[in-house]
Amino acid sequence: MIKKCNTCNVELTDNNWQPAWKLIDRTQCKECSKKNNKASNPSNNPKRMFVDGKYIKQTHPLYKAGNYKSFGDAAFESLENYKESKEGEVYVITNPAWKGWVKIGMAVDSRDRCLSYQTSSPFRDYKLEVAVSVDDRRLIESMAHERASWVAEEEKCEWFKMPVDTAVEIARSLKNEVSS
């Protein structure tokens, strides 16, 4: 019995039909399957936002529908949302070039922030040690800087000479304290 594609009615052969589909009697050619997958792929939805393949909710402060490599590529028409929004992340970043130093900062997306630092490093060796989601990134970052200054040997703006695990604990503990 000759099998035909249930979408385009082409005859199904070894060249256009997946062997596994034969076993389950899925009567669709590879070409129609590819078209269907593209149409149903959520990343093809023009009302959604994706950054580096990751879905971004419409409530995100930098939401702008489309597919982007990074938030920096998103044209930032929603910059006003960024200024008004409090939620985001407090992070700790290190780089082996500055042994013993950690950066405690805030961002809407810490992973994206770390990627932006990589462009200034020929070795792409910045490491995101921790990213803590918080309701008020500015407040928690300020509190983290204050606590870090108590224990750091030295400090330069957002950079602190202190153990990484201490900086990570400061970021994590503040989230728990403020959310309690």
Given a cut of 70, is residue 98 above it in pLDDT?
yes
Same domain? For 77 and 114 the reply is no
Same domain? For 50 and 115 the reply is no
Same domain? For 97 and 57 the reply is no
**Distance of alpha carbon 143 from alpha carbon 84, whole angstroms:** 20
Q: How many domains does the chain have?
A: 3
pTM beyond cutoff 0.75: no
Which pLDDT does position 75 carry in this prediction? 45
Same domain? For 109 and 48 the reply is no
**Distance of alpha carbon 120 from alpha carbon 102, whole angstroms:** 17
Number of residues written out for the chain:
180
CA-closest candidate to residue 108, choices 149, 70, 164, 165: 70
Q: What is the extent of the structural domain holding 6?
A: 1-40
Which pLDDT does position 104 carry in this prediction? 97
Range 29-33, long-range pairs (CB < 8 A, 24+ positions): 29/5, 32/5, 32/7, 32/8
pLDDT tens digits, 33-77? 887 766 556 556 677 777 777 777 777 777 778 777 766 655 444
